[in-house]
Amino acid sequence: MRLIRRIIRLYQSFIISGAIILFCLIAFFVGIIPGFNKISSMVKIVYEQTKTVQQLEEKINILNALDETLLESYATAAISAVPADKSLGTIFSTIDGLTSQEGVAVSGISLSSIGSVATEAAKKLSQEEQKIGVNIVPFSIIVAGPIEQVRNVVEKAVKIRRLFRIRNFDLSFDNKSGTTKSTIQMDAYYAPNPKNLGKISDVLKPLSDDEIQVINKISALPLVTKSVPIGTDSSQIQTEPRSLDPFSP
C-alpha cells in the first residue's frame, strides 16, 4: 500500500497529464468527431436543398416563358404522328383515309407480327426498336386500282401525319381490266410514355431550334385520319374514312 502511495506521489504529474489526455481523446472520438460529421451532413443537406430550389426556380422561369397554346399544338402534332400506344384504330383509319383520298380499294390489311397486339409487359424491344428509340407495329395492306392512284398511295404513305415506313411492296397488273394490285409492307411507330418521370433535380431545357423545326415539319404534314359519323339510313354509303377503333367495345 505504501509502495502504491509512493508511486502515485512520484508520478502524480504524469498520471494527471495522462488522465487529461485520455479524457481529451475520449471527448474527441465520442463528441467532436460525431458532432463534426453531423454538422457536415447538415451543411450538405442545406446545400442540396438550396441547389434544388435554384433548379426549381429555373424550371418555373422556363415554364412561365412557354406558350401553353403553342405547347398544346406541338403535343397534338407529335402524338398524331407517333402516339403513346399502338393505336391500331388510327393505323386503319389513316390507311382508309389515304386510299379513299386516292380512289383505290383496300382488299386486305393484316398485322405482320403476333407481338403487334401484345401488351407492353409481354413485348420485348427488337434491336431495331432499341436503335431508333421507338416501338414498331409492322403491317401490310393490299390495294387495287389504277396504276397512277396506287403509285400515289405508295408515294404519299410516307408523307402523312401518322408516320409510316414502307419496307417493300410488289405490283401485279391485270391487262384486261387495267387494274393494278399491290401488297405494301409497312411499319407504324409508337412511343410509350416513360414509366419514370425523372427526378426533381433533373434539368429542364426548353425546346431547341432543331426540335421546333422537326415539330413544325410534322405539323405541316397532311392529316388524313378523319372521323365521319355513320348515317342511320341504310341507303347512305359512307365514302369518307372513319377513325373508329375496331378493338374498342
Does residue 96 carry a pLDDT above 70?
yes
Fold of 83-193+207-220: Alpha-Beta Plaits (3.30.70)
The vertex-123 CA angle with 116 and 246, nearest 5°, equals: 30
Given this model, what pLDDT does residue 217 score?
92
pLDDT, tens digit, 9 for 90 and up, residues 157-180: 999 989 999 999 898 888 877 788
Q: What is the dihedral of CA 193, 199, 205, 207, to 10 degrees?
A: 10
Determine contact, residues 204/59, Cβ cutoff 8 Å.
yes
pLDDT, tens digit, 9 for 90 and up, residues 51-67: 888 888 888 888 888 88
Domain ranges of the chain: 12-60, 83-193+207-220
The CA distance from 92 to 187, in Å, is: 12
**Full-model pTM:** 0.62
